[in-house]
Structure 1
């Protein structure tokens, strides 16, 4: 399922709900419907920038988790490993972070699920 973020500050940002949920959980927001007000935008930017910096300090742990999830089947190890494309938290979060930065500058809200 997709979530589309809307703001007068920038073009719409679409993300899979499972990826948006991690970001919205950090911001203590519901993933189904919500708003980040212009007043909340500076704190939201700060939180996301901090989490991105933290995720860059420990990129291997995120890769290892994805590798385990992708390569271990229900009945043990799967020896037929396929090449994985790594998409980091920073890469996934950047479009929304950019929207929040623009919303902060212009004094606009960011909404989703409406």
Structure 2
């Protein structure tokens, strides 16, 4: 299943449901789809998302450093994957634009 984020401030964004729900949780929202953010709430959701992503990035860096010391002699031991921080960039940009233009953001 997919979740589409919409705002008059930017184009639509499409995420797989599991990633969308993680991002919504970081924004302080529940897993209710469809739902929305009022224009007044976009700034606080953006700040929460940025804080949550920073915390996850710090945890992942610590894990990566530990993994590198544990399996340094094993080539290709780890899988390449797209981090949540990279996946969140379009949503961060949408929230920033919505905040500037004082627009709500909805998802369905």
TM class, shorter-chain normalised?
A: 0.7 to 0.9
Q: Does residue 99 of the first structure (1) align with residue 90 of the second (2)?
A: no
Task: Report the equivalent of 2:42.
Answer: 41
Higher helix fraction: Structure 1 or Structure 2?
2
Q: Following the alignment from structure 1 to structure 2, what is the Cα–Cα distance between the partners of residues 82 and 37?
A: 45
What is the number of residues matched between the two proteins?
A: 96
Cα distance between partner residues in 2 of 1:96 and 1:38: 15
| Alpha-carbon contact 1:36-1:110 (below 8 Å) kept | yes
TM-aligned CA deviation for residue 55 of structure 1 = 1.5
Q: CA-atom RMSD, angstroms?
A: 2.0
Note the alpha carbon deviations across 1:53-105, whole angstroms, 9 max, x for none: 11221115777xxxxxxxxxxxxxxxxx8862221111111111110110000
Per the TM alignment, residue 30 of structure 1 is displaced from its structure 2 partner at its CA by 3.1
The equivalent of 1:88 in structure 2 is 83
Shift in alpha-carbon separation, 1:103–1:62, aligned structure 2, 3 A: farther
Structure 2 distance, partners of 1:62, 1:30, is: 27
Report runs of 4+ in structure 1 exceeding 3 Å deviation. 60-63
